[in-house]
Structure 1
Amino acid sequence: MESEVRRKQIIDVLTHASGPVTGAELSKRCQVSRQIIVGDVALLRARGVSIISTPRGYQLEHVRHGGIERMIVVCHGPEQMRTELEAIVDNGGRVHNVVVEHEIYGYLEGSLNLRSRRDVDQYIHRMEETHAELLSRISGGIHSHLIEADTEADMDAIEHALDKLGILYNS
């Protein structure tokens, strides 16, 4: 398959997908290696196509839902990650990212896009399967999430739940 045709197919697949599409799925559809897909995605991004990488695959960056957004700072160890994320999604929140501060590189961000317990389960399974380290490891457990909720009441419930768990950072 010609490279430009393949890149158009990647955009088409992501445009019509109902959720993230894995690199393996894209490589299967395009009949190339996953590494070729990684390169194609990098080239598409350089051309201005807003493709984001999530723990569940690639997706086009969509306009936010129009809800309330707030950056929440938390501090906890790896053993509380599931509890933290479930407290957010159970109270109507969407976790867009995780951000940590590094003394040399500044702010480092990872896309999450978690909306449900199913998303949380898949994310944690992927972390365990790959033995990946949490970004918060480099910042002593302190990290931020951009959270989106439909209402201020939902956002307040999220903060209350995190505070009750003792992981909302209030220095």
Structure 2
Amino acid sequence: MNGRERRNKIIQMLSESSEALSGKELAGILDVSRQVIVQDIALLRAQDHEILSTNQGYLLTGEKKISRVFKVVHSDKEVEEELKLIVDYGGHVEDVFVYHKIYGIVRADLHIASRNDIKEFLGDLKNGHSALLKNITSNYHYHTVSAPSEKLLDLIQGKLQESGFLAELKDYEPINFWEKETKEKDKE
């Protein structure tokens, strides 16, 4: 597990816990030193995560967000439409990644939460003379999208489907990202 994955796991554990989690407890679960946890918490705070330190441990404060991964496909001309659809329905596009049969998973953080963020992102692409990551996998790519509720994520997923952006997973892909969601709905 690399540092980014470990920090994402810390946020996940803090968001799912109703009680404070101590640095020692987090270190034991993640098999790192307590000092690594302290450094990770500092980095997470620098990324605007509201983490409170108490004598009992760490608590995640502020608005809790739920995330879901969507596999999407579209042309370069439809990037703006896809991103606007997500943010207009309350989603935050955390990242973009592709699964390449040779290179594996290639990921980039986006943190797009508004139409202004979209404008800046598209401007940076144009000014940097860069190509979109999706272009190495025939336009197929994934976004981790967060929102304050499952209801909003369901709405976003439905709108992506209606717009023809949602893509089916293939047998060779490493993870069925919707498997957890399906299992949770089956339990209800």
Q: Check whether TM > 0.5.
A: yes
Q: Which range, TM-score by smaller chain? A: 0.5 to 0.7
Structure-2 residue corresponding to 1:166: 164
- Give structure 2 stretches of 5+ with no counterpart: 1-38, 51-62, 170-188
The code of the aligned residue for 1:140 comes to S
Q: CA RMSD in A?
A: 2.1
1:70 is the counterpart of 2:75: no
> Structure 2 vs 1, CA of residues 105 and 50 (structure 1 numbering), >3 Å: closer, same or farther?
farther
Residue 61 of structure 1 and its aligned partner are, at CA, apart by: 3.0
Residue 135 of structure 1 and its aligned partner are, at CA, apart by: 0.5
Supply the distance in 1 between the matched residues of 2:49 and 2:143 (Cα, whole angstroms).
Answer: 18
1:135 is the counterpart of 2:140: no
Structure-2 residue corresponding to 1:93: 91
Supply the distance in 2 between the matched residues of 1:156 and 1:131 (Cα, whole angstroms).
Answer: 35
Residue 89 of structure 1 and its aligned partner are, at CA, apart by: 0.2
1:42-83: per-residue Cα shift (whole Å, max 9, x none)? xxxxx87748xxxxxxx9334385211101110111111000
- Give structure 1 stretches of 5+ with no counterpart: 1-46, 52-58
> Structure 2 vs 1, CA of residues 133 and 60 (structure 1 numbering), >3 Å: closer, same or farther?
farther
SS in 1 for 2:166: coil
Q: From 119, 122, 131, give the equivalent of 2:120.
A: 122
SS in 1 for 2:130: coil
The code of the aligned residue for 1:106 comes to G
SS in 1 for 2:93: strand
Q: TM-score, structure 1 length as denominator?
A: 0.63
Residue 151 of structure 1 and its aligned partner are, at CA, apart by: 1.1
Residue 146 of structure 1 and its aligned partner are, at CA, apart by: 0.6
SS in 2 for 1:132: coil
Supply the distance in 2 between the matched residues of 1:83 and 1:75 (Cα, whole angstroms).
Answer: 12
Paired positions, count: 118
Structure-2 residue corresponding to 1:55: none
1:104-119 to 2 correspondence within 5 Å?
104-119=102-117
Q: TM-score, structure 2 length as denominator?
A: 0.58
Supply the distance in 2 between the matched residues of 1:152 and 1:60 (Cα, whole angstroms).
Answer: 27
Structure-2 residue corresponding to 1:60: 46
SS in 1 for 2:77: helix
Supply the distance in 2 between the matched residues of 1:135 and 1:60 (Cα, whole angstroms).
Answer: 26
